[in-house]
Amino acid sequence: MKHSVLIQTRKWQIMSKNNCNQVIANYQKNLLKNISTWLEILEEMSKNTTDTSGLPKLEVSLRSGRLYAGSVIGLKKSTNETFVMLLEHADLHTKSRIHLIQCEDIAALSFIDPDIYLSIFSKPIVSELELKRKLKVVEDELECILSKPIPVSLSTSITESDRSHVLQMAEGFPEIFKKLTADDISKNLIFEQISDIEIQMDKTAGTILNKNKLICIFAKDSDIFLSRQKEALFYSIEKVL
């Protein structure tokens, strides 16, 4: 009996050590980035939400020894300096504040609840049915903008792991075409030249217009922020028209 307990205890110790090593490896893989990269990642997150209370919290330590805590809601770069805008949420003792911090003065970032930061890099699972349903919503919005139906199809290169990224990019189509059809001349041009859209995945992004079919190629495993990928998609569509 005593021998059995020792074996079980040893197994538990090994499992605990393995789990600990896995967590540390996960932290090293995803969280070990330089300060400027993290500020860009967090600023990108703030662009895609209207609920600032859900943004990750962090502590910013300055070289002077001052410490600020809050969520990144902006980043301003210029030739000579870069500022980060940090929102400090109100609590029982203090009012809400916004701090403008010169990035060159930052000595360290401290992640509050690092597991929340790990979730930034996890891709949500999107089923094939959910993707088709949401693409139908995109088609309806495009029809309202362009005054004609524009089917959006997926090539066979779209895999299960691609669906989340495809959906995020495709949901940018209405905003892109709204910009492209700002005047009647542009709207008529797009009305005549585009009859349907096909989404493909490849190593590099690009756009092709072939016999009234707009082929939009999204990049696999791109390190470029989503807002910049959508901006590049806008210019690539504009270029082929």
Provide the token pair at 89.
């949420």
Compute and round to an integer the Cα radius of gyration of the chain. 24
Residue type, 70: G
pLDDT at 148: 93
Q: Tell me the pLDDT of the chain (241 aa) as tens digits.
A: 544 444 454 544 444 555 667 778 877 887 888 999 899 989 988 887 777 888 889 999 999 999 999 999 999 988 889 999 999 987 777 788 999 999 999 999 999 888 888 877 777 789 999 999 999 999 999 999 999 999 999 998 788 889 999 999 999 999 999 999 988 888 888 999 999 999 999 999 999 999 999 999 999 877 777 888 899 999 999 999 8
Which residue has 């209207």 as its token pair?
A: 50
pLDDT at 185: 87
Closest to 41 in 3D by CA, of 90, 88, 106, 109: 109
- Claim: this prediction has a pTM higher than 0.75: no
pLDDT at 220: 87
Give the Cα separation of 84 and 193 in Å (integer): 43
Q: What is the 3-state secondary structure (H, E, C) of the chain?
A: CHHHHHHHHHHHHHHHHHHHHHHHHHHHHHHCCCHHHHHHHHHHHHHCCCCHHHCCCEEEEECCCCEEEEEEEEEEECCCCEEEEEEECCCCCCCCEEEEEEHHHEEEEEECCHHHHHHHHCCCCCCHHHHHHHHHHHHHHHHHHHCCCCCEEECCCCCHHHHHHHHHHHCCHHHHHHHHCCCHHHHHHHHHHCCEEEEEEECCCEEEEECCEEEEEEECCCCCCHHHHHHHHHHHHHHHC
Give the Cα separation of 53 and 87 in Å (integer): 10
pLDDT at 2: 44
